[in-house]
A and B are shown apart, each in its own frame.
Chain A
Amino acid sequence: MNGYLQQLLVGIVVTIELATVSLVIAFGLGLIGAAAKLSSNRWLAMVGSAYTTLIRAVPDLVLMLLLYYSVQNWVNAITDLLGQPQIEIDPFLAGVSVIGFIYGAYFTETIRGAVKAVPRGQLEAAAAFGLNRWQAFSRILFPQMMRFALPGISNNWQVILKATALVSIIGLHEVIYAAQAAIKGSSWPGGAHVLFYLLMAALLYLALTTVSNFVFAYLEKRYAAGFERMAR
């Protein structure tokens, strides 16, 4: 196997890492955002609404460039002010925080809808049994909410996976970056190397989305345990 194909495989591993860590961050932010939007505190609810409305109205690529370059600028301004040497923000950390922050807004909406789909009586019953708020959340609300949230989560995951393709633009060495490096480094007769490496990258993505489809189909079946399958 030639070295460039190996680089592509290394790149797809970076893509998987990026997407997974971003997913965890986005899911965490989604839980917090949903809690804010559903809270009885008006200010918290407003902050939550502003987050989901503003972030979802702007393309992810624009937000990525905006946040990535602005935050680096602000860090530089702070270090200059303190007379410290400049800190380069780690591209991986920057990538996952930005993707996590953006898709946190989408997860907020997914989770908010799922929480609202759990019957009220479930939480009232939990309170009647003397469960405290954490117990009621972790044992009653969360497992039931997940069943309603899974189709949305699966959708968001596919979108995040494909959004990682954009971080090569801010300099992360994921699979597209590897493909472009391979293209620069090789020259085939007829110019076919460009098509070949890009198609390879596309195939790797296709494999990832296909595998995740199967995983989510399994999870949906698992979380639907005890419920009749809806008629299609």
Chain B
Amino acid sequence: MIDLIRQYWQPFLWGSPNHISGLAMTLWLTVASCVIGFALALPLSVARAAGPSWARLPVWLFTFVFRGTPLYIQLLIIYSAIYGLDFVRTTPGLGSFFKDALNCTVLAFAVNTCAYTTELLTGAIKATPRGEVEAARSLGLAGISLYLRIVLPSALRRALPAYSNEVILMLHATSLASTATVPDILKVARDAYADYYLPFPAFGIAAVLYACLSMTFIWLFRKAEQKWLRHLSTT
């Protein structure tokens, strides 16, 4: 067990000169997919909450399909099935994109979290108090400026607790990247396990690292809520 820790603490935590560490890879996967997913979810949720029906239906279908199937299947489809198609492999841009495991995992994670984020942002937009919108309209705001100045700032704040949950779930979901050979925390743990056949220390270290990351994210979001939700606190 000492040997395992001695050999693997670097891949787990700091990485070596030519390899990114598991911790850094997990963080990168989480941040990249959440940022991309959020950026896509913002227009989609506005479309779903307030758009015309030809825009609402496809967005609903998108969230329904991606929330109704396991992320693992979505990852398998993007990582192995799409690259398995001959025409994808022979098309220059597509082939090189889907050949890379990291591209595929970030794409799968981003699309998946986008579906969940769209749904929770839609809920927050729809729950905007009527009075806020009426006040904005009476001051002459309408259309895009109504959304940019009033509805979205208010809805995004109220969505913060639910979104912090989604980010934690996404952090946990990134452990699936190890099945696509991306060297995240769990991949390092699986390598360590394969080397030493000591499952408890190998996966235990991974579990502790994930737990620490979760606690850090929870703490950060609590700070953010204290800052941005102060106007809603009852005390």
Contact = CB atoms under 8 A, between A and B. Distances in A.
Interface string B87-129: 1010000000000000000000000000000000000000000
A66 B204 contact: yes
B67 to A, nearest CB: 8
Nearest to A59: B172
Contact of A62 (B76, B87, B207): B207
Contact of A162 (B69, B84, B186, B204): B69
A176 B73 contact: yes
Contacts of A163: 70
Given A62-B186, A62-B206, A162 B200 contact: no
Interface string A159-202: 00011111001000000100000000000011111110011011
Interface centre among A58, A163, A195 (most CB of B within 10 A): A58
Interface stretch (A41-49, A78-86, A119-127, A203-211): A203-211
Contacts of B200: 66, 70, 73
A205 B203 contact: no
B81 interface: yes
A10 interface: no
A153 to B, nearest CB: 17
A57 B218 CA distance: 10
Contacts of B210: 57-59, 62
Contacts of B87: 190
A162 B70 CA distance: 5
A50 to B, nearest CB: 12
Interface centre among B73, B197, B206 (most CB of A within 10 A): B73
Contacts of A60: 172
A61 interface: yes
Contacts of A191: 84-86, 89
Contacts of A162: 69-72
A189 B86 CA distance: 8
Contacts of B69: 162, 202, 205-206, 209
B85 A210 contact: no
B142 interface: no
Interface centre among A57, A60, A66 (most CB of B within 10 A): A57
A59 B175 contact: yes
Contact of B189 (A62, A176, A201): A62
B224 interface: no
A54 interface: yes
Given A65-B203, A73-B200, A165 B81 contact: no
Interface string A31-69: 000000000000000000000001011111111011001
A57 B211 contact: yes
Given A65-B199, A69-B199, A162-B69, A57 B76 contact: no
Contacts of A69: 193, 199, 203
B68 A195 contact: no
B20 to A, nearest CB: 19
Contacts of A54: 211
A199 B84 CA distance: 13
B82 interface: yes
A73 B1 CA distance: 14
A57 B175 CA distance: 13
B30 to A, nearest CB: 11
* 6 residue pairs, one from A and one from B, having the closest CB atoms: A69-B199, A59-B172, A66-B203, A165-B70, A194-B84, A57-B211
Given A66-B199, A198-B73, A198-B81, 8 more contacts: A57-B215, A66-B207, A162-B70, A191-B85, A195-B77, A195-B81, A201-B73, A209-B67
Interface of A: 54, 56-63, 65-66, 69-70, 72-73, 162-166, 169, 176, 189-195, 198-199, 201-202, 205-206, 209-210
15 contacts: A58-B172, A60-B172, A62-B186, A65-B189, A65-B193, A66-B204, A72-B199, A73-B197, A162-B70, A165-B70, A166-B72, A166-B176, A176-B70, A205-B69, A209-B67
